[in-house]
Structure 1
Amino acid sequence: MLQSRFLLNCAIQMKKMSSNALCSRLNGRVAIVTASTEGIGFAIAQRLAREGAKVVVSSRKEKNVEKAVNELKKEGLNVTGVVCHVSKAEDRRKLFMESEKLGGLDILVSNAAVNPEIGGVLDASETAWDKIFDVNVKSSFLLAKEALPQIRKSKFGRIVFVSSIAAYAPLDVLGAYSVSKTALLGLTKAAANQLATENITVNCVAPGVVQTKFASTLTESEATREEVLKRIPLGRLGVPDDISGIVALLVSDDGSYITGETIVAAGGMISHL
């Protein structure tokens, strides 16, 4: 009996130690996460804040920003919110002004993406193509470029782009979107090479089919859902927390020797170009 109690107490203490280590990994660091009021972006913002970072949450709609910030603050997390359409220069400027107020940016997570049309890549309208690349690719490039003045002052500079399994295995219903996400793999490699001598890491995460509003096209009908599940060896759809922990690793000291890489979190779906 005494031995059992001793082992139980040891387990509890070890769990507390592990929890404390997890929650302090990003203490003192400032992070921006775009499109972070729901889904994967929200989970990333929440995880970084839980690990001690001051996080700037952003989205295009003010009501969504307010809701997300209030929800995170109820946990006692250190977050602020800014309305930001990543394609608008003035909105991006306000985003970086907010991180400057918090002491300067250490971590940028570029998560914003759009997909205004469903269909094959060669069926996409020029308007949809331009919008997809403007938000998914050009804005990611501009965010990274405009973040550098602050990130270069940090001892822990980290940039993470959020791509998709569609970058490797284009989906018929997400043609142009798939191409834009493949472009982020190249942006990651090129930016990582350029910034490596400054000790700034640049990485990418490619989520699989994750249960979010954004992925509803692939999950809303039973038939489509079953078809998607056939392509996932683990036999389940992802959840936002499956992605947030990977981002937390990449932006922490534990990921300091990883740069130029894309980590695929897709339940085993094929991920080769």
Structure 2
Amino acid sequence: CCYFFLGMYPQSEKILDSAPASRLKTRLLFHLAHKLGDEKKLMEHHQQLQDVIEDQLSLASIHYLRSHYQEAIDIYKRILLDNSGILFPKQFPLKKRVSQDDIQLLSVLRSLKEYLALNVYVALCYYKLDYYDVSQEVLAVYLQKYPDSAIAINLKACNHFRLYNGKAAETEIKTLMDQSSSSFSFGHDLIRHNIVVFRGGTAALQVLPPLVDVIPEARLNLVIYHLKQEEYKEAFLLVKDLEPSVPQEYILKGVVNVAIGQESGSREHIK
């Protein structure tokens, strides 16, 4: 687990070879398969997961990492169904507007005393689905209990950025920085990255390059910075080996290739 947390995935996998079989080992191998891009092993370990909270939360996190946000929300709702005593359907398709089932989920989250971190997980999913106001409402429940959480405050700031503007978002982040808590130290790189975004790219070249392989959004935001500066070759180097998996990545890679094609007269890039 320590090797995995440090990003030393081959070392983690090697140690697991001699570890006894357990549900924890299965979950760790499941996540290692995702990190190492081994789809065959990913599906193999997926089939070994059981219908217990730890395994289901592990599955939900993989769904989130693979941009399957609705699937992750469905798992969180099933966990709430099993632990809240409140009955609602097991399938919850998101419409263009938040459904009655989603409103009921908010009610459950407000009253839940166990699994409080589910508020953050659900809020992250709603944020990724562009339901910023719903994300904010869910997040508020967790922040009442843990007001100095770096992850929660950062997400609140991101919601403010989407709902209002960069200045409102930076005000939230400043609250976290002023606390100087261990929680802030944990999220230091994430905070520095988001301050660059909130300030419209200020200090991007100083902050973002070291974070490209640490924070997924750092690469995309650095590409945006280079595009704004008309530095198309630098932007292309960042996306040429990128395999898009979400709309933003497809759009950015397309825009960069068009820019390179127009600048160099290359029809191949424009295609």
Same-fold call, TM > 0.5? no
Looking at secondary structure, tell me which structure has more strand per residue.
Answer: 1
Question: What's the TM-score once normalised by structure 2's chain length?
Answer: 0.28
Question: What's the TM-score once normalised by structure 1's chain length?
Answer: 0.28
Greater RCO (Cα-Cα under 8 Å, separation 6 or more)? 1
